[in-house]
Amino acid sequence: MEMGLLSLILVGALFICLLAGLWVGFALMVVAVLAMELASPAPTGGVFATSIWSGLNSWDLTALPMFIWMGEILFRSRLSNDLFTGLSPFTRRLPGGLLHVNILGCALFAAVSGSSAATTATVGKMSLPELRRRGYDMRIAIGTLAGSGTFGFLIPPSIILIVYGAATEQSIARLFLAGVVPGLMLAGLFVGFVMIWARFNRHLMPEPDPRTSWRERAAALRLLLPTVLLIVAVIGSIYAGLAAPTEAAVVGVAGALAISWASGGLDRATAVASLRGAAITTCMIGFILAGASFLTTAMGFTGIPRLLAGWIGEQGYTQFQLLAALLVFFVVLGFFLDGISIVVLTTSVIMPMITAAGIDPIWFGIFLVLVVEMSQITPPVGFNLFVLQSITGRGIFEIARMALPFFLLLVLATAIISLFPELALWLPATMSR
Protein backbone atom coordinates (compact mmCIF):
# COMPACT_ATOMS: atom_id res chain seq x y z
CA MET A 1 0.00 0.00 0.00
CA GLU A 2 1.24 3.51 -0.84
CA MET A 3 2.70 5.19 2.26
CA GLY A 4 0.69 8.40 1.97
CA LEU A 5 -2.61 6.52 1.85
CA LEU A 6 -1.54 4.25 4.71
CA SER A 7 -0.64 7.26 6.85
CA LEU A 8 -4.02 8.87 6.21
CA ILE A 9 -5.83 5.64 7.10
CA LEU A 10 -3.91 5.26 10.37
CA VAL A 11 -4.36 8.91 11.43
CA GLY A 12 -8.06 8.72 10.54
CA ALA A 13 -8.45 5.49 12.53
CA LEU A 14 -6.79 7.09 15.56
CA PHE A 15 -9.09 10.10 15.57
CA ILE A 16 -12.18 7.94 15.04
CA CYS A 17 -11.20 5.81 18.05
CA LEU A 18 -10.57 8.88 20.21
CA LEU A 19 -13.79 10.60 19.14
CA ALA A 20 -15.69 7.40 19.90
CA GLY A 21 -14.47 7.65 23.49
CA LEU A 22 -12.08 4.70 23.40
CA TRP A 23 -9.33 4.92 26.01
CA VAL A 24 -6.10 6.30 24.55
CA GLY A 25 -4.07 3.15 25.24
CA PHE A 26 -6.59 0.91 23.49
CA ALA A 27 -6.94 3.39 20.61
CA LEU A 28 -3.19 3.14 20.02
CA MET A 29 -3.43 -0.66 20.04
CA VAL A 30 -6.25 -0.61 17.47
CA VAL A 31 -4.18 1.58 15.14
CA ALA A 32 -1.15 -0.66 15.63
CA VAL A 33 -3.16 -3.78 14.73
CA LEU A 34 -4.46 -2.00 11.63
CA ALA A 35 -0.93 -1.01 10.61
CA MET A 36 0.37 -4.56 11.07
CA GLU A 37 -2.47 -6.09 9.05
CA LEU A 38 -2.17 -3.59 6.18
CA ALA A 39 1.58 -3.26 5.85
CA SER A 40 3.43 -6.19 7.42
CA PRO A 41 3.51 -9.97 6.99
CA ALA A 42 4.74 -10.40 10.58
CA PRO A 43 2.39 -12.17 13.02
CA THR A 44 0.40 -9.48 14.79
CA GLY A 45 -0.14 -11.49 17.99
CA GLY A 46 3.54 -12.22 18.49
CA VAL A 47 4.58 -8.63 17.83
CA PHE A 48 1.85 -7.43 20.22
CA ALA A 49 3.11 -9.63 23.07
CA THR A 50 6.83 -8.91 22.66
CA SER A 51 6.48 -5.16 22.11
CA ILE A 52 4.25 -4.63 25.15
CA TRP A 53 6.57 -6.69 27.33
CA SER A 54 9.65 -4.78 26.18
CA GLY A 55 7.85 -1.44 26.55
CA LEU A 56 6.82 -2.04 30.16
CA ASN A 57 9.80 -4.12 31.31
CA SER A 58 11.87 -1.08 32.28
CA TRP A 59 13.44 -0.48 35.69
CA ASP A 60 13.10 3.29 35.20
CA LEU A 61 9.31 2.93 35.21
CA THR A 62 9.31 1.54 38.74
CA ALA A 63 9.70 5.11 40.04
CA LEU A 64 6.41 6.05 38.39
CA PRO A 65 3.85 4.50 40.78
CA MET A 66 5.81 5.66 43.83
CA PHE A 67 5.95 9.31 42.74
CA ILE A 68 2.26 9.13 41.81
CA TRP A 69 1.43 7.70 45.24
CA MET A 70 3.49 10.42 46.92
CA GLY A 71 1.44 13.06 45.11
CA GLU A 72 -1.83 11.34 46.01
CA ILE A 73 -0.89 11.27 49.71
CA LEU A 74 0.07 14.95 49.76
CA PHE A 75 -3.05 15.87 47.80
CA ARG A 76 -5.12 14.52 50.70
CA SER A 77 -3.03 16.17 53.42
CA ARG A 78 -3.26 19.72 54.79
CA LEU A 79 -0.33 20.76 52.61
CA SER A 80 -2.35 23.25 50.54
CA ASN A 81 -3.43 25.10 53.70
CA ASP A 82 0.15 25.20 54.98
CA LEU A 83 1.46 26.40 51.62
CA PHE A 84 -1.00 29.29 51.47
CA THR A 85 -0.48 30.31 55.09
CA GLY A 86 3.29 29.93 54.83
CA LEU A 87 3.74 31.88 51.58
CA SER A 88 1.25 34.71 52.09
CA PRO A 89 3.37 36.78 54.53
CA PHE A 90 6.17 36.94 51.95
CA THR A 91 4.00 37.88 48.94
CA ARG A 92 1.24 40.17 50.22
CA ARG A 93 3.35 43.35 49.80
CA LEU A 94 4.59 42.48 46.29
CA PRO A 95 2.82 43.97 43.25
CA GLY A 96 0.16 41.33 42.66
CA GLY A 97 -0.02 40.40 46.33
CA LEU A 98 -1.39 36.98 47.13
CA LEU A 99 -1.67 36.06 43.44
CA HIS A 100 1.97 35.02 43.77
CA VAL A 101 0.90 32.31 46.23
CA ASN A 102 -0.63 30.46 43.26
CA ILE A 103 2.67 30.59 41.40
CA LEU A 104 5.04 29.83 44.27
CA GLY A 105 2.67 27.31 45.83
CA CYS A 106 2.42 25.40 42.55
CA ALA A 107 6.22 25.48 42.16
CA LEU A 108 6.70 24.03 45.65
CA PHE A 109 4.01 21.39 45.31
CA ALA A 110 5.28 20.42 41.84
CA ALA A 111 8.63 19.66 43.45
CA VAL A 112 7.00 16.98 45.62
CA SER A 113 4.22 15.81 43.33
CA GLY A 114 5.23 15.43 39.67
CA SER A 115 1.62 15.77 38.49
CA SER A 116 0.18 18.84 36.81
CA ALA A 117 -3.46 18.07 37.64
CA ALA A 118 -2.65 17.26 41.29
CA THR A 119 -0.67 20.50 41.61
CA THR A 120 -3.56 22.55 40.22
CA ALA A 121 -6.16 20.86 42.42
CA THR A 122 -4.13 20.96 45.63
CA VAL A 123 -3.23 24.65 45.45
CA GLY A 124 -6.53 25.72 43.89
CA LYS A 125 -8.83 24.21 46.48
CA MET A 126 -7.25 26.48 49.13
CA SER A 127 -6.12 29.59 47.25
CA LEU A 128 -9.13 30.42 45.06
CA PRO A 129 -11.72 30.71 47.86
CA GLU A 130 -9.28 32.81 49.89
CA LEU A 131 -8.43 35.12 46.97
CA ARG A 132 -12.14 35.56 46.23
CA ARG A 133 -12.82 36.42 49.87
CA ARG A 134 -10.07 39.05 49.84
CA GLY A 135 -11.44 40.75 46.72
CA TYR A 136 -8.96 39.67 44.03
CA ASP A 137 -10.08 39.64 40.41
CA MET A 138 -10.96 36.01 39.74
CA ARG A 139 -9.96 36.13 36.07
CA ILE A 140 -6.29 36.68 36.86
CA ALA A 141 -6.51 34.40 39.94
CA ILE A 142 -7.80 31.48 37.86
CA GLY A 143 -5.39 32.28 35.03
CA THR A 144 -2.33 32.20 37.32
CA LEU A 145 -3.45 28.89 38.78
CA ALA A 146 -4.11 27.32 35.38
CA GLY A 147 -0.69 28.36 34.10
CA SER A 148 1.26 27.60 37.27
CA GLY A 149 -0.35 24.18 37.62
CA THR A 150 1.66 23.09 34.57
CA PHE A 151 4.83 23.26 36.70
CA GLY A 152 4.02 19.69 37.76
CA PHE A 153 5.23 18.50 34.35
CA LEU A 154 8.56 20.35 34.38
CA ILE A 155 9.85 20.78 37.92
CA PRO A 156 11.27 17.44 39.12
CA PRO A 157 10.24 14.85 40.13
CA SER A 158 8.18 14.96 36.95
CA ILE A 159 6.07 11.97 35.95
CA ILE A 160 6.18 12.95 32.30
CA LEU A 161 10.01 13.20 32.35
CA ILE A 162 10.08 9.63 33.71
CA VAL A 163 7.86 8.53 30.81
CA TYR A 164 10.03 10.39 28.27
CA GLY A 165 13.23 8.94 29.76
CA ALA A 166 11.86 5.39 29.61
CA ALA A 167 10.57 5.85 26.06
CA THR A 168 13.85 7.30 24.73
CA GLU A 169 16.29 5.44 27.01
CA GLN A 170 17.65 8.68 28.50
CA SER A 171 18.87 9.14 32.06
CA ILE A 172 15.96 10.18 34.28
CA ALA A 173 18.34 11.73 36.81
CA ARG A 174 19.84 13.95 34.08
CA LEU A 175 16.37 14.87 32.84
CA PHE A 176 15.40 15.88 36.38
CA LEU A 177 18.52 18.05 36.59
CA ALA A 178 17.75 19.60 33.21
CA GLY A 179 14.26 20.62 34.35
CA VAL A 180 15.37 22.67 37.38
CA VAL A 181 16.60 25.91 35.78
CA PRO A 182 13.85 26.10 33.08
CA GLY A 183 11.28 25.45 35.82
CA LEU A 184 12.61 28.31 37.95
CA MET A 185 12.82 30.54 34.87
CA LEU A 186 9.19 29.82 34.02
CA ALA A 187 8.10 30.62 37.57
CA GLY A 188 10.07 33.87 37.32
CA LEU A 189 8.32 34.79 34.07
CA PHE A 190 4.93 34.22 35.68
CA VAL A 191 5.85 36.30 38.75
CA GLY A 192 7.13 39.11 36.53
CA PHE A 193 3.97 39.10 34.43
CA VAL A 194 1.73 39.27 37.51
CA MET A 195 3.76 42.21 38.86
CA ILE A 196 3.41 44.10 35.57
CA TRP A 197 -0.30 43.25 35.32
CA ALA A 198 -0.89 44.50 38.86
CA ARG A 199 0.87 47.80 38.11
CA PHE A 200 -1.39 48.45 35.13
CA ASN A 201 -4.60 47.17 36.77
CA ARG A 202 -4.53 48.73 40.22
CA HIS A 203 -8.31 49.16 40.09
CA LEU A 204 -8.72 45.36 40.02
CA MET A 205 -6.49 44.81 43.05
CA PRO A 206 -7.65 44.95 46.68
CA GLU A 207 -6.04 47.28 49.18
CA PRO A 208 -2.54 46.13 50.19
CA ASP A 209 -2.40 44.02 53.32
CA PRO A 210 -0.57 45.41 56.36
CA ARG A 211 3.09 44.56 56.72
CA THR A 212 3.90 41.35 58.54
CA SER A 213 6.32 41.18 61.43
CA TRP A 214 9.44 39.04 61.42
CA ARG A 215 7.81 36.84 64.05
CA GLU A 216 4.90 36.14 61.68
CA ARG A 217 7.32 35.35 58.87
CA ALA A 218 9.26 32.97 61.10
CA ALA A 219 6.03 31.19 62.01
CA ALA A 220 5.15 30.97 58.29
CA LEU A 221 8.54 29.44 57.52
CA ARG A 222 7.83 26.66 60.01
CA LEU A 223 4.74 25.75 58.00
CA LEU A 224 6.82 25.54 54.80
CA LEU A 225 9.59 23.52 56.44
CA PRO A 226 8.05 20.02 55.88
CA THR A 227 7.62 20.69 52.16
CA VAL A 228 11.16 22.04 51.82
CA LEU A 229 12.62 19.09 53.72
CA LEU A 230 10.72 16.66 51.49
CA ILE A 231 12.05 18.42 48.37
CA VAL A 232 15.60 18.22 49.73
CA ALA A 233 15.18 14.54 50.66
CA VAL A 234 13.80 13.51 47.26
CA ILE A 235 15.61 15.74 44.79
CA GLY A 236 18.73 16.25 46.88
CA SER A 237 19.30 12.52 47.24
CA ILE A 238 19.23 12.15 43.45
CA TYR A 239 21.51 15.13 42.77
CA ALA A 240 23.97 14.06 45.47
CA GLY A 241 24.19 10.60 43.95
CA LEU A 242 22.87 8.97 47.13
CA ALA A 243 19.80 7.46 45.48
CA ALA A 244 18.48 6.56 42.05
CA PRO A 245 15.11 8.06 41.06
CA THR A 246 13.30 4.86 42.11
CA GLU A 247 14.93 4.84 45.54
CA ALA A 248 14.27 8.58 45.94
CA ALA A 249 10.61 7.93 45.13
CA VAL A 250 10.42 5.51 48.07
CA VAL A 251 11.99 8.19 50.28
CA GLY A 252 9.35 10.60 49.00
CA VAL A 253 6.48 8.26 49.86
CA ALA A 254 7.85 7.79 53.37
CA GLY A 255 8.20 11.56 53.78
CA ALA A 256 4.71 12.18 52.41
CA LEU A 257 3.23 9.67 54.85
CA ALA A 258 5.08 11.38 57.70
CA ILE A 259 3.82 14.85 56.66
CA SER A 260 0.27 13.62 56.26
CA TRP A 261 0.36 11.86 59.65
CA ALA A 262 1.87 14.90 61.41
CA SER A 263 -0.78 17.20 59.93
CA GLY A 264 -3.57 14.93 61.08
CA GLY A 265 -4.62 14.02 57.56
CA LEU A 266 -3.58 10.36 57.56
CA ASP A 267 -6.18 7.78 58.49
CA ARG A 268 -7.40 4.49 57.05
CA ALA A 269 -9.78 6.14 54.57
CA THR A 270 -7.08 8.55 53.35
CA ALA A 271 -4.52 5.78 52.94
CA VAL A 272 -6.94 3.59 50.96
CA ALA A 273 -8.05 6.53 48.79
CA SER A 274 -4.43 7.49 48.02
CA LEU A 275 -3.57 3.90 47.07
CA ARG A 276 -6.66 3.65 44.87
CA GLY A 277 -5.89 6.96 43.15
CA ALA A 278 -2.26 5.97 42.56
CA ALA A 279 -3.29 2.57 41.17
CA ILE A 280 -5.82 4.10 38.77
CA THR A 281 -3.37 6.71 37.47
CA THR A 282 -0.53 4.20 37.15
CA CYS A 283 -2.74 1.76 35.23
CA MET A 284 -3.90 4.53 32.91
CA ILE A 285 -0.31 5.49 32.12
CA GLY A 286 0.63 1.81 31.80
CA PHE A 287 -2.05 1.20 29.17
CA ILE A 288 -0.90 4.27 27.24
CA LEU A 289 2.73 3.10 27.37
CA ALA A 290 1.73 -0.42 26.28
CA GLY A 291 -0.31 0.88 23.36
CA ALA A 292 2.44 3.30 22.33
CA SER A 293 5.07 0.55 22.50
CA PHE A 294 3.00 -1.69 20.22
CA LEU A 295 2.31 1.20 17.85
CA THR A 296 6.00 2.13 17.77
CA THR A 297 6.90 -1.42 16.72
CA ALA A 298 4.11 -1.52 14.15
CA MET A 299 5.21 1.81 12.69
CA GLY A 300 8.71 0.41 12.38
CA PHE A 301 7.33 -2.42 10.23
CA THR A 302 5.47 0.07 8.00
CA GLY A 303 8.60 2.19 7.45
CA ILE A 304 6.66 5.45 7.93
CA PRO A 305 8.99 6.95 10.61
CA ARG A 306 12.05 6.27 8.46
CA LEU A 307 10.45 7.84 5.39
CA LEU A 308 9.22 10.82 7.39
CA ALA A 309 12.64 11.41 8.92
CA GLY A 310 14.19 11.16 5.47
CA TRP A 311 11.67 13.63 4.04
CA ILE A 312 12.38 16.12 6.83
CA GLY A 313 16.08 15.75 6.18
CA GLU A 314 15.59 16.46 2.47
CA GLN A 315 13.87 19.76 3.27
CA GLY A 316 17.10 21.14 4.67
CA TYR A 317 15.46 22.62 7.75
CA THR A 318 17.70 24.34 10.25
CA GLN A 319 17.39 23.35 13.91
CA PHE A 320 15.25 26.41 14.65
CA GLN A 321 12.96 25.76 11.68
CA LEU A 322 12.53 22.13 12.76
CA LEU A 323 11.78 23.14 16.34
CA ALA A 324 9.30 25.79 15.19
CA ALA A 325 7.49 23.20 13.06
CA LEU A 326 7.44 20.74 15.96
CA LEU A 327 6.11 23.46 18.28
CA VAL A 328 3.11 24.03 16.01
CA PHE A 329 2.65 20.27 15.58
CA PHE A 330 2.60 19.58 19.33
CA VAL A 331 0.31 22.53 20.09
CA VAL A 332 -2.21 21.18 17.56
CA LEU A 333 -1.93 17.69 19.09
CA GLY A 334 -2.52 19.26 22.49
CA PHE A 335 -6.01 20.28 21.42
CA PHE A 336 -6.94 16.58 21.27
CA LEU A 337 -4.57 14.57 23.50
CA ASP A 338 -3.23 14.79 27.04
CA GLY A 339 0.47 15.35 27.66
CA ILE A 340 1.57 11.79 28.41
CA SER A 341 -0.24 10.48 25.32
CA ILE A 342 1.52 13.08 23.16
CA VAL A 343 4.95 12.07 24.47
CA VAL A 344 4.57 8.31 24.09
CA LEU A 345 2.79 8.60 20.75
CA THR A 346 5.31 10.84 19.02
CA THR A 347 8.76 9.99 20.38
CA SER A 348 9.33 7.02 18.05
CA VAL A 349 8.65 9.21 15.02
CA ILE A 350 10.29 12.40 16.25
CA MET A 351 13.54 11.11 17.79
CA PRO A 352 15.19 10.04 14.49
CA MET A 353 14.69 13.59 13.21
CA ILE A 354 16.04 15.07 16.43
CA THR A 355 19.12 12.85 16.33
CA ALA A 356 19.72 13.61 12.65
CA ALA A 357 19.45 17.36 13.35
CA GLY A 358 22.11 17.11 16.07
CA ILE A 359 19.75 18.15 18.90
CA ASP A 360 20.61 16.91 22.39
CA PRO A 361 17.89 14.42 23.49
CA ILE A 362 18.09 15.62 27.12
CA TRP A 363 17.48 19.21 26.00
CA PHE A 364 14.71 18.08 23.66
CA GLY A 365 13.01 16.37 26.59
CA ILE A 366 12.71 19.75 28.35
CA PHE A 367 11.56 21.43 25.13
CA LEU A 368 8.94 18.73 24.66
CA VAL A 369 7.68 19.02 28.23
CA LEU A 370 7.37 22.80 27.91
CA VAL A 371 5.31 22.39 24.76
CA VAL A 372 3.25 19.60 26.29
CA GLU A 373 2.53 21.89 29.27
CA MET A 374 0.60 24.05 26.83
CA SER A 375 -1.76 21.13 26.17
CA GLN A 376 -2.83 21.30 29.82
CA ILE A 377 -4.46 24.69 29.28
CA THR A 378 -5.75 24.37 25.70
CA PRO A 379 -9.35 23.27 25.08
CA PRO A 380 -11.06 20.94 24.55
CA VAL A 381 -8.73 18.37 26.21
CA GLY A 382 -6.84 20.42 28.80
CA PHE A 383 -6.62 18.57 32.12
CA ASN A 384 -5.91 21.72 34.15
CA LEU A 385 -9.01 23.27 32.60
CA PHE A 386 -11.10 20.29 33.73
CA VAL A 387 -9.68 20.55 37.25
CA LEU A 388 -10.45 24.26 37.45
CA GLN A 389 -13.90 23.72 35.99
CA SER A 390 -14.69 21.34 38.85
CA ILE A 391 -13.36 23.86 41.41
CA THR A 392 -14.89 27.06 40.01
CA GLY A 393 -17.93 25.88 38.01
CA ARG A 394 -16.85 28.03 35.04
CA GLY A 395 -16.76 26.86 31.43
CA ILE A 396 -13.70 25.27 29.81
CA PHE A 397 -13.34 27.96 27.15
CA GLU A 398 -13.79 30.76 29.67
CA ILE A 399 -10.97 29.35 31.81
CA ALA A 400 -8.83 28.91 28.68
CA ARG A 401 -9.22 32.64 27.91
CA MET A 402 -8.07 33.45 31.44
CA ALA A 403 -5.03 31.20 30.96
CA LEU A 404 -4.10 32.68 27.55
CA PRO A 405 -1.38 35.06 28.86
CA PHE A 406 0.32 32.14 30.58
CA PHE A 407 0.06 30.02 27.43
CA LEU A 408 1.95 32.82 25.65
CA LEU A 409 4.54 32.88 28.45
CA LEU A 410 5.06 29.14 27.91
CA VAL A 411 5.71 29.89 24.23
CA LEU A 412 8.20 32.58 25.30
CA ALA A 413 9.94 30.14 27.67
CA THR A 414 10.23 27.63 24.84
CA ALA A 415 11.83 30.29 22.62
CA ILE A 416 14.27 31.26 25.40
CA ILE A 417 15.56 27.73 25.99
CA SER A 418 15.82 27.27 22.21
CA LEU A 419 18.05 30.35 21.98
CA PHE A 420 19.95 29.47 25.16
CA PRO A 421 20.02 25.65 25.45
CA GLU A 422 22.59 25.91 28.25
CA LEU A 423 19.71 26.79 30.57
CA ALA A 424 18.67 23.14 30.42
CA LEU A 425 22.06 21.50 29.84
CA TRP A 426 24.28 23.38 32.28
CA LEU A 427 23.18 21.64 35.48
CA PRO A 428 23.32 18.04 34.11
CA ALA A 429 26.80 18.74 32.70
CA THR A 430 27.98 20.26 35.98
CA MET A 431 26.63 17.51 38.21
CA SER A 432 28.01 14.70 35.99
CA ARG A 433 31.60 15.91 36.31
Q: Identify which of 96, 57, 101 has the alpha carbon closest to the alpha carbon of residue 81.
A: 101
pLDDT band at 187 (very low <50, low <70, confident <90, very high): very high
Q: Identify the CA nearest to 87 among candidates 48, 53, 118, 127.
A: 127
What is residue 235's DSSP assignment? I
The per-residue pLDDT for 229 is 86
pLDDT in tens, 129-186: 888 888 899 999 999 999 998 888 888 888 888 888 888 888 888 998 899 999 999 9
Using DSSP, state whether 40 is helix, strand or coil: coil
pLDDT score recorded for residue 45: 87
Residue 314 neighbours by CB under 8 Å, 6+ apart:
none
Residue 219: pLDDT band with limits 50, 70, 90? confident
Say what percent of the chain tops pLDDT 70: 94
Q: What is the pLDDT of residue 31?
A: 87
Per-residue confidence (pLDDT) for residue 115, from 0 to 100: 74
The residue-averaged pLDDT of 333-355 equals: 77
Q: pLDDT per residue over 54-78, tens digit each?
A: 777 777 678 778 888 887 887 777 7
State yes or no: cis peptide before 157, omega within 30 of 0: yes
Distance CA 346, CA 184 (A): 27
Position 185 scores a pLDDT of: 94
Per-residue pLDDT at 418 exceeds 80: yes
Per-residue pLDDT at 433: 58
